[in-house]
Amino acid sequence: MEGSLTARDRVGIQDFVLLDAYTSETAFMDNLRKRFNENLIYTYIGTLLVSVNPYKELGIYTKKQMDIYMGVNFFELPPHIFALADNVYRTMISETSNHFILISGESGAGKTEASKKVLQFYAVCCPSTRLLDNVRDRLLLSNPVLEAFGNAKTLKNDNSSRFGKYMDIQFDHQGAAVGGHVLSYLLEKSRVVHQNHGERNFHIFYQLVEGGEDELLRWLGLERNCQNYRFLIQGECAKVSSINDKSDWKTVQKALIIIEFSEKDIERWNTFFCFLFLHFLCFRNPCLCSIYHFQVLSPFTAEHAKYARDALAKAIYGRTFSWLVCMVTWNLQNLLFIKTVIGLLDIYGFEVFDMNSFEQFCINFCNEKLQQLFIQLTLKSEQEEYEMEGIEWEPVPYFNNKIICDLVEEKHRGIISILDEECLRPGEATDFTFLEKLEEKMCGHPHFVTHKLADQKTRKTLERGEFRLLHYAGEVTYSVAGKLFNVATQFKSSLAGLTEILMTKEPWYVRCLKPNHCKQPDRFDDVMVRHQVKYLGLMEHLRVRRAGFAYRRRYEVFLKRYKALCPDTWPHWKGTPAEGVQRLIKHLGYKPDEYKMGRTKIFIRHPRTLFAIEDAFEICKHELGKGPVTSDKRGLIETCWRGLQARKERERRAWAVKVIKKFIKGFMNRNQPVSMDNSEYLAFVRQSYLTRLKDNLPKSVLDKTTWLTPPPIMQEASVFLRKLHTRLLLRKYVRGISSQQKVQLQIKALTSDIFRGRKENYPQSICQPFADTRISEKDINIKVLQQICPEGIKYSVPVIKYDRNGFRPRFRQLIFTQAAAYLVEEAKIKQRVNYSSLKGAQCPINSKSMIVFDIQPGKEGFVDFKSSSEAMVYRTKNGHLMVVGPHNAIVNSRDKS
């Protein structure tokens, strides 16, 4: 409440529920305009927050502002997005319940910014540790990634969300944000292939072209010029002064790393940009003959080729976006420590264009369903509060839009069901056969009209390929031309899933308004704002929220604020808060029809009654501070202050004694079954162990010693957590290795199976990285390849041959085919050994540092081994071949021989 009556006249009322003429749309608009002119962009309707986009910086989102609104009573300070976010958070913590914030409004009203402010507030107000800071960064940086792929410049907004987003912020038992989960709805895929004049494609394309590294663009075959790509220039505004695509590209790349996208993931989504090259598709393949193994190719007409190209482009983008959302969720979600969630739903609002497509039909239907849910939940919560407080509920007249929802989604009779039937029926279904079926089924419906069904006057405003729906927010005309898709049922199902999610949570609302079309500060367009107030259902909500009483507060809060107005309640009231409020309003002279006493709250019917007590309180505050400060008065103030401090200290000490006693009792009973005596102590032990564990987790899968020894109560949980952590380390390791490393690991695993239990130094050799020395066919001389390729090359590796005389090294290639082994020197095959001629090999070992082998009958050769940091091979004075190298390498080579 903004102080005195004079201030209220100037800046308006901060809660529309306190409007005397609450049924008057004019009074509503006057109050909204007053506040906007004073840069007060937020106003409440009860707990609903109305936000008007100021189109300028107001300096009201600083860290200092966050601190001011943290932990403060919802109505104690002026309305703010931080106040709503804080109240949702504290209610979630105190009641251990799930909540969601529905942010709605048309494009450019500030929905995306509102959701960002909520996320930023939780990032600051929640408990903070190194691990939780990482989670917070991932939550915040998921926004620029999703905006890059899902947002675009439109005529109404330079950063317009062209998809609906629902995000769950996941909290643990301490109220710390530990993860998130993202769902997307209604991606505007048509924007990929077509943009209106003055609009752009999705941001990511321009970010890539402007900010992508030269090497990446070369790899993708792209040029740093948007004008070369038809999909990017149809709106003729590739460059936008308010957008820095080059800087935004760097932000997205940084965000992908922090969200923990692997290099392979980033490479995968980079490749999808190649569809910028899509030209006309020239043929279609309607059938494939499996008997004669030939394809039937049918040439496209120019129109069909264009349609097929656009359909493919939209499908590629749609699937890429779905994959991206899944990957963001995969890297955000925490399945282990979730206790409660706060959902954020940011979805574009009800809109009407000159040409409204099938996508707009889906968007408006979504808003129709959300309006239905909005009224249902608001009515439900109001009725429940009245019933809990023992106050008689007064029925509220409102427009029930169920008739419109049924018109669209009713089984067998709704528009979506008729569309499905038309797509699946035998024969050729067209847009106009669908329209004829609608006219047959919907004839006489009060919210549906076509050119054929309309009266003479309305018929002039409708084309033959259009139908008009009378939504709760107004009339919208939709075109059926070229929009006959069989996807409506899928959309209806996803919308039903979203509704189901929302129905399990407590609702909070932010309604965003645009003050003008030009995005200019300090300009308030009455006609435009009035239209938004209508289709956002704000007057409807206000009527429901009033429901007879303009104001309700808990007795403790009401008495604490206004107790100075009654001598009996000031400065201290000894009885119950309800009795104190009763004494206070009796002193103020309230009449019986002005208020009701509930079980825990006082309900005041008229705003003027509340304003009277508020103005009296403002005067009273000044009276209390007036007059000379005598020694008696100074002494009284000092005594009161010391008394207050002493009472606070006594309460603090009493609380500390209680906690210490409970801790000692819990420690003494720590080995007993869980009971009232030890439950809190055991909870402390669990929390303490988990806190220490998170800072001492093994960094490697091979680290078997770091894991903390758990207390008895955490033995089972520790085993489970250790398995989960090992799986996490394995997942990170596997996702971080290249495809070449994966092949090496497979070979190493196969080798391990062969040598396990058969090799003396197996435990020492298993931890050594496997070196893949295989050579590819392109490294083999073409002449050699032509001779041996028909036999089928199975394995090839570079080797060194040492001469019998002098042991001089000769570089060779050892190649194994299906039939024989070849020793190759450049373009010559030096030796071919048929497998069938091999009788075996014998390499007797007469010491651990020597190998003896037969050179020829009656003559032996010797190989000596020696350990050293430097590897070399040479002939010794005694004629032996000396191999020098690291100990493991020598042991391995000796074992393999």
Question: What's the average model confidence in pLDDT over 558-579?
Answer: 86
* Mean of the per-residue pLDDT values of the chain: 81
**Per-residue pLDDT tens over the stretch 346-400:** 877 777 777 787 778 888 888 888 888 887 777 777 778 888 888 887 777 777 7
Q: Is the pLDDT of residue 40 over 90?
A: yes
Q: Output the pLDDT for position 293.
A: 47
Question: What's the average model confidence in pLDDT over 434-461?
Answer: 86
The answer to whether 142 touches 295, Cβ cutoff 8 Å, is: no
Q: Output the pLDDT for position 6.
A: 54
704 is in an annotated binding site: no
108 is in an annotated binding site: yes
- Specify which residues 467 forms β-bridges with: 450, 478
46 is in an annotated binding site: no
Q: Is the pLDDT of residue 43 over 90?
A: yes
Highest mean pLDDT among 318-322, 699-703, 802-806: 318-322
Q: Report how far apart, in Å, the C-alpha atoms of 227 and of each of 222, 223, 232, 236, 414 are.
A: 12, 10, 7, 9, 45
**Per-residue pLDDT tens over the stretch 101-134:** 988 888 788 888 898 899 889 888 887 766 667 7
Q: Output the pLDDT for position 83.
A: 92
Tokens of 418: 């008729």
Q: Is the pLDDT of residue 769 over 70?
A: no
* Distance from C-alpha of 416 to C-alpha of 366, rounded to nearest angstrom: 13
Q: Output the pLDDT for position 603.
A: 87
* Distance from C-alpha of 163 to C-alpha of 156, rounded to nearest angstrom: 15
Question: What's the average model confidence in pLDDT over 586-595?
Answer: 86
Q: Is the pLDDT of residue 298 over 60?
A: no
**Per-residue pLDDT tens over the stretch 70-107:** 888 777 788 999 999 998 998 888 888 899 998 888 87
Q: Is the pLDDT of residue 491 over 80?
A: no
105 is in an annotated binding site: yes
- Specify which residues 817 forms β-bridges with: 793
- Specify which residues 152 forms β-bridges with: 160, 202
* Distance from C-alpha of 534 to C-alpha of 594, rounded to nearest angstrom: 30
Helix and strand totals (H; E) in the chain:
30, 25
Task: Walk me through the domains of the chain, giving residue ranges and CATH numbers.
Answer: 374-481 (1.20.58.530), 553-624 (3.30.70.1590), 670-735 (no CATH), 773-884 (2.30.29.30)
- Say what angle helices 130-150 and 111-125 make with each other, to 10 degrees: 170
Neighbours of 428 (CB within 10 A): 6
Q: Is the peptide bond before 397 cis (omega within 30 degrees of 0)?
A: no
Nearest to 179 by CA among 29, 338, 351, 303: 338
Tell me the percentage of the chain whose pLDDT exceeds 90: 10
**Per-residue pLDDT tens over the stretch 808-828:** 788 888 998 888 889 898 888
- Phi/psi for 385 (5° steps) reads -65, -45
- Specify which residues 596 forms β-bridges with: 603
109 is in an annotated binding site: yes
**Per-residue pLDDT tens over the stretch 655-693:** 888 888 888 888 888 888 888 888 888 888 888 888 888
Q: Output the pLDDT for position 33.
A: 94
DSSP-assigned letters across all residues of 2-70: -SSHHHHHHH--SBGGG-TTTT-HHHHHHHHHHHHHTT--EEEETTEEEEE--SS--S-SSHHHHHHHT
Which band of pLDDT confidence, cut at 50, 70 and 90, is reported for residue 802?
confident
End-to-end CA distance of the chain: 90
Name which residue leads in pLDDT, 566 or 535. Answer: 566
**Per-residue pLDDT tens over the stretch 708-747:** 888 888 888 888 888 888 888 888 888 777 777 777 777 7
625 is in an annotated binding site: no
Q: Is the pLDDT of residue 482 over 60?
A: no
Which of 142-146, 278-282, 326-330, 733-737 comes out lowest in average pLDDT? Answer: 278-282
Name which residue leads in pLDDT, 851 or 283. Answer: 851
**Per-residue pLDDT tens over the stretch 221-264:** 888 888 888 888 888 888 998 899 999 999 998 888 888 787 77
